[in-house]
Chains A and B, each alone.
Chain A
Amino acid sequence: MLAYFSSLSPLALLNSCPGGVAQGLIWGIMALGVYLTFRVLDVADLTVDGSLATGGAVCIMLVLSGWNPQLALLISFFAGLAAGLITGLLHTALGIPDILAGILTQISLYSINLNIMGKANQSVNVNKVTFLFTSNSKLLLRTIVLVAVVCAVLIALIYWFLGTEFGSAIRATGTNPNMSRAQGINTNLMKVIGLALSNGVVALSGGILSQYQGFADVNMGRGAIVIGLAAVIIGEVLGEAILGKRLNMALRLLWVVIGGIIYYIVYVFVLWLKFPADDMKLLTAIVVAIFLAVPYLKGKYFTKSYAVKYMTRPMRKKKEGQ
Chain B
Amino acid sequence: MLEINRVSKTFNPGTVNEKTALDGLTFHLNPGDFCTVIGGNGAGKSTMLNAIAGVWPVDEGNIIIDGKNVTQLPEHKRAAYLGRVFQDPMTGTAATMGIDENLALAARRGRLRTLKWGVTKKEQAQYKELLAGLDLGLEDRLTSKVGLLSGGQRQAITLLMATLKQPKLLLLDEHTAALDPKTAAKVLELTDRIVSEHKLTTLMITHNMRDAIAHGNRLVMMKDGKIILDISGEEKKKLTVEELLEKFSVASGDTLDNDRMILG
Interface residues of A (CB under 8 A from B): 161, 163-169, 171-172, 175-176, 178-187, 320-322
Interchain residue pairs with CB less than 8 A apart (27): A161-B115, A163-B117, A164-B114, A164-B116, A165-B113, A165-B115, A168-B97, A168-B101, A169-B108, A169-B113, A171-B94, A175-B95, A176-B93, A180-B76, A181-B76, A182-B75, A183-B79, A183-B105, A183-B108, A184-B77, A184-B110, A185-B79, A186-B74, A187-B76, A320-B148, A321-B147, A322-B147
Contacts of B255 in A (CB 8 A): none
Q: Give Cα A179–Cα B109 distance, bound, in whole angstroms.
A: 11
Contacts of A320 in B (CB 8 A): 148
B118 near A164 (CB under 8 angstroms)?
Answer: yes
B95 near A176 (CB under 8 angstroms)?
Answer: yes
B149 near A166 (CB under 8 angstroms)?
Answer: no
Contacts of B118 in A (CB 8 A): 163-165, 167-168
Across chains A and B, which 4 residue pairs bring their CB atoms closest together, nearest first?
A184-B79, A168-B118, A165-B113, A175-B94
Report the interface size for chain B: residues with CB under 8 A from the other chain.
37
Known contacts A164-B115, A184-B80; A321/B148 CB under 8 A? yes
Q: Give Cα A166–Cα B147 distance, bound, in whole angstroms.
A: 22
CB distance from A183 to the nearest CB of B (A): 5
Contacts of B161 in A (CB 8 A): 183
Contacts of B77 in A (CB 8 A): 184
Interface residues of B (CB under 8 A from A): 53, 74-77, 79-80, 82, 84, 86, 90-97, 101, 104-106, 108-111, 113-119, 147-149, 161
CB distance from A123 to the nearest CB of B (A): 40
A183 near B106 (CB under 8 angstroms)?
Answer: yes
Please give me the residue from chain A that is nearest to B145 by CB atom: A321
Q: Give Cα A63–Cα B86 distance, bound, in whole angstroms.
A: 56
Q: Give Cα A179–Cα B93 distance, bound, in whole angstroms.
A: 6
Where chain B touches its partner, the secondary structure class is loop
Q: Give Cα A182–Cα B171 distance, bound, in whole angstroms.
A: 11
Known contacts A168-B101, A183-B106, A183-B161; A176/B149 CB under 8 A? no
Known contacts A165-B114, A166-B113, A168-B104; A182/B97 CB under 8 A? no
Q: Give Cα A180–Cα B102 distance, bound, in whole angstroms.
A: 10
Please give me the residue from chain A that is nearest to B90 by CB atom: A176
CB distance from A317 to the nearest CB of B (A): 15
Q: Give Cα A168–Cα B123 distance, bound, in whole angstroms.
A: 15
Contacts of B109 in A (CB 8 A): 183-184
B75 near A169 (CB under 8 angstroms)?
Answer: no
Please give me the residue from chain B that is nearest to A185 by CB atom: B76
Contacts of B147 in A (CB 8 A): 321-322
The residue among B93, B96, B148, B149 with the most chain A CB atoms within 10 A of its own CB is B96
A169 near B79 (CB under 8 angstroms)?
Answer: no
Contacts of A178 in B (CB 8 A): 86, 91
Q: Give Cα A273–Cα B150 distance, bound, in whole angstroms.
A: 51
CB distance from A92 to the nearest CB of B (A): 12
B114 near A166 (CB under 8 angstroms)?
Answer: yes
Q: Give Cα A186–Cα B104 distance, bound, in whole angstroms.
A: 16
A185 near B105 (CB under 8 angstroms)?
Answer: yes
Contacts of A183 in B (CB 8 A): 79, 105-106, 108-109, 161
Contacts of A184 in B (CB 8 A): 76-77, 79-80, 108-111
Q: Give Cα A121–Cα B224 distance, bound, in whole angstroms.
A: 66
Contacts of B110 in A (CB 8 A): 184
Q: Give Cα A166–Cα B110 distance, bound, in whole angstroms.
A: 13
Contacts of B113 in A (CB 8 A): 164-166, 168-169, 185
Q: Give Cα A320–Cα B145 distance, bound, in whole angstroms.
A: 12
Q: Give Cα A178–Cα B106 distance, bound, in whole angstroms.
A: 13
CB distance from A292 to the nearest CB of B (A): 18
Choice from A165, A172, A321 contacting B97 with Cβ under 8 Å: A172
